[in-house]
Amino acid sequence: MGKARILILGGTTEARALAAALGSRADLDIVLSLAGRTADPAPQPVPVRSGGFGGAEGLARYLREEAIGLLIDATHPFAARISANAAEAAAQCDVTAFALRRPAWVPVEGDDWLSVHSVSQAIAALGAKPLRVFLATGRQEAHQANAASQHHYWVRSVDPVEPLLTVPHVSYIHSRGPFRLADELDMLQKHQIEVVVTKNSGGEATYAKIEAARLLGIKVIMIERAEAAGLPVVETVEAALGRIDHFASSLMKRGV
């Protein structure tokens, strides 16, 4: 009986944790796919495929050619296009698939959130008065800030923002999470940040900025997630492992 072949669409902390939990299993053949957008990705515990597939059709072709039996979408909660492609490709190939999606953050007492649905809406919501803004939306959409050049932006990303923003007042912070509360408090205070703009990514790795904003009484403009693509969703690595065990045991029973 051959190994069960599993493709994990990754790039998140959860994807790496899932791969680490599966890497030593003799009954599974794991491939972790990364988009290739990060110049220096963290080491991974299983074989890695880097780069795009060429849309849903390309992903479906890969699933067929590599005889993938289970597809796991563990991409970022805002990687809507990749998730839609995964759902379409799995349906085309009749491949078992599910999404591992960390729960969204929810406001708690003391939070001052304004919820919007896009980065452009978040920038518009800053208003006309010049503000000191911590922009934590990732580098790919940071250029939306060019539409409101009156503000002073501190832009944090793993890799450099390219092209640079055209606004007159901008500073760049290059760092990779997880981030500690003490460091986030220090950063927000040092730069006298008045508003935080971020995506509702969920998870613990980047939550410290939300907690720091709460403690300092800073408004957060929160970009909420779009409706998820049509795959069953689990919210934890443990739940994903349970689904994988069920999948592997069903293959064994069928003698595949």
**Number of domains, the chain:** 2
- Bridge partner residues of 157 (DSSP): 174
Strands 170-174 and 233-234: unpaired
Q: Give me the pLDDT at residue 41, please.
A: 64
254: confidence class by pLDDT, cuts 50, 70, 90: low
Burial class (CB in 10 A: 0-12, 13-18, 19+), 169: middle
Q: CA–CA separation, 127 vs 148, rounded Å? A: 9
Q: CA–CA separation, 204 vs 61, rounded Å? A: 35
99 in the same domain as 141 = no
pLDDT tens figures, 179-201: 999 999 999 999 999 999 999 99
**For residue 20, is it within any domain?**
yes
- Please name the amino acid found at residue 174: H
**For residue 158, is it within any domain?**
yes
Question: Is the distance from CB of 153 to CB of 167 less than 8 angstroms?
Answer: yes
Please give the residue range of the domain that contains residue 236.
4-103+227-254
41 in the same domain as 25 = yes
Q: CA–CA separation, 204 vs 11, rounded Å? A: 15
**For residue 84, is it within any domain?**
yes
Q: CA–CA separation, 176 vs 40, rounded Å? A: 11
Lowest mean pLDDT segment, chosen from 96-110, 129-143, 199-213, 227-241? 227-241
Query: What is the pTM for the complete model shown?
Result: 0.83
209 in the same domain as 131 = yes
CA 241, distance to chain mean position in Å, is: 20
88 in the same domain as 45 = yes
69 in the same domain as 14 = yes
190 in the same domain as 136 = yes
162 in the same domain as 97 = no
CATH number assigned to the domain comprising residue 11 = 3.40.50.720
**For residue 187, is it within any domain?**
yes
Residue with tokens 């890695």: 48
Element (DSSP H or E) covering residue 184: helix 181-190
192 in the same domain as 169 = yes
